[in-house]
Amino acid sequence: MSTTDFDLIVVGGGPGGYVAALRAAQLKLSVAVVEANHLGGICLNWGCIPTKALLRASEINHLLHDLGQFGFAVDNPRFDFQKVVGRSRAVSKQLSGGVGHLLKKAKVPVFDGFAKLAGTDGKKRKLAVTLKDGKSVTLTAKNVILATGARARKLPGLEPDGKFVWSYREALVPDELPKRLLVIGSGAIGTEFASFYRNMGSEVTLVEVADRVLPVEDEEISGLAIKAFEKQGMKVLTSAKLGTLKKSDTDVSVEIEAAGKKETYTFDRVISAVGIVGNVENIGLEGTKIVVDRTHIVTDDLCRTGEPGVFAIGDVAGAPWLAHKASHEAVMCVEAIAGKHVHPIDVTKIPGCTYCRPQVASVGYTEAKAKAAGYQVRVGRFPFIGNGKAIAMGEPDGLVKVVFDAKTGELLGAHMIGAEVTEMIQGYVIARSGELTEAELKETVFPHPTISESMHEAVLAAYDGALHF
């Protein structure tokens, strides 16, 4: 790594940072990555990927206990919990190593250390990098992309202690399966962990301060999620207020107020999933024109900060906090730096997916937000109980809901709950990105038998009427 001057330096090697570097290399820009911990970032190492590996295991465990409906019998199904956790870590390690291979293949140097903005050298930005071996190096570049990500928010009294109170990190590598678990926060992170542990056998209580779980989703979908969770034996408390956690040598007790009642509960472990904060500290923002708002760097629609030549992408640049948003921003940002014509991202065309059981996926406006924005809407719904493939799979519980502009036929939003909806939502994302109306969607031929036929039927339900329900 004798070269210290580049066209672009990317600070952070997560799904935003490493994708930015790969795209820059494709465009023949000289580029380097500075990464303090693991290539792949939180997503590959402590987020998206390891949680999906755990959730896959919990789905298998659930299925093993539900084989009777398919005519099978398994006596005393059991699992090795440490092997379940170990597989999850192995999957992350494999993919993180794969990112390193891609960067090496693209001839992108990776500096293992911490980087800080350190002023300018003529027309170039300077970065002071403290390497993990204790040495220091100064890098220069015409442009810098900050992709430092985010970390779990810590609330007073809910700080992770490594034993009783867990953040997502501790929840991914538990020593043993807790019998009684409290999950605080019902966003994607909270509901996924609640779903994993419940399906592995823990007694789970899910607590949300808002009046419903998954509060960013359509209200109808949130209601169905609560019913599904409760059917699985999960206790769900919304509009809840928590008292102070009281720890003993073996467990934690807390008073929770919900539905007008106060009750004291005792748990073996607590997962705090109350949001994230951007990693904006110690990266040299002081003395720059970069603005930070509620721990996130403020950018324009092309990811430019207030400091010339400095860009910010991904979680550190604010909501929505999604890996695929970070990767898309990375490509857009690099192509803009390379002088290509780019289109700013429309956040209403970015899908959101939650991999609990049942899965939840959405894109665009909820029904309530569409009406609040002044649209006259047409809404279509189709339940999985009317879909042959869903019934054949033993997955009849689910719903597809679509929201159209009644005047123009524009697809404003789509909301889904049920088996495999995280794989299906992309169909509606393409429809929104391609500005398709109900006319094109009604005429689209969906394969049979597939659960995706429910997507077509939901469109028909908004207009001429569903055929199979």
Give binding residues as ranges: 52, 185-192, 208, 275, 315
Residues making up the binding site for NAD(+): 185-192, 208, 275
Say whether 448 is catalytic.
Answer: yes
Q: Write out the binding residues for FAD.
A: 52, 315
CB 151, CB 276: distance < 8 Å: yes
Which one, of 379, 381, 412, lies nearest residue 398 by Cα?
381
Which residue in 38, 324, 328, 448 is the catalytic one? Answer: 448
Give me the residue label for tokens 């911490």: 114
Q: Which residues contact 221 (CB under 8 A, 6 or more apart)?
A: 214, 360, 362, 399, 401, 415, 416, 417
Q: Give the DSSP H/E element, type plus range, for residue 43.
A: helix 41-46
DSSP-assigned states of every residue in 377-435? EEEEEEEGGG-HHHHHHT----EEEEEEETTT-BEEEEEEESTTHHHHHHHHHHHHHTT
Q: In what side-by-side order are the strands of the sheet with 399-405?
A: 352-354, 360-364, 411-417, 399-405, 377-383
Beta-strand pair 292-293/110-121: unpaired
Closest CA relative to residue 317, chosen from 309, 284, 306: 306
At residue 131, what is the residue type?
A: L
Q: List strand residue ranges (DSSP E) for 25-178, in order.
A: 31-35, 110-121, 124-131, 136-146, 150-152, 165-166
DSSP string of 280-347, one letter each residue = -TTSS-TTSS--EETTEE---TT-B-SSTTEEE-GGGG-SS--HHHHHHHHHHHHHHHTT-------G
Look at residue 194 and give its three-state secondary structure. helix
List the catalytic residues. 448
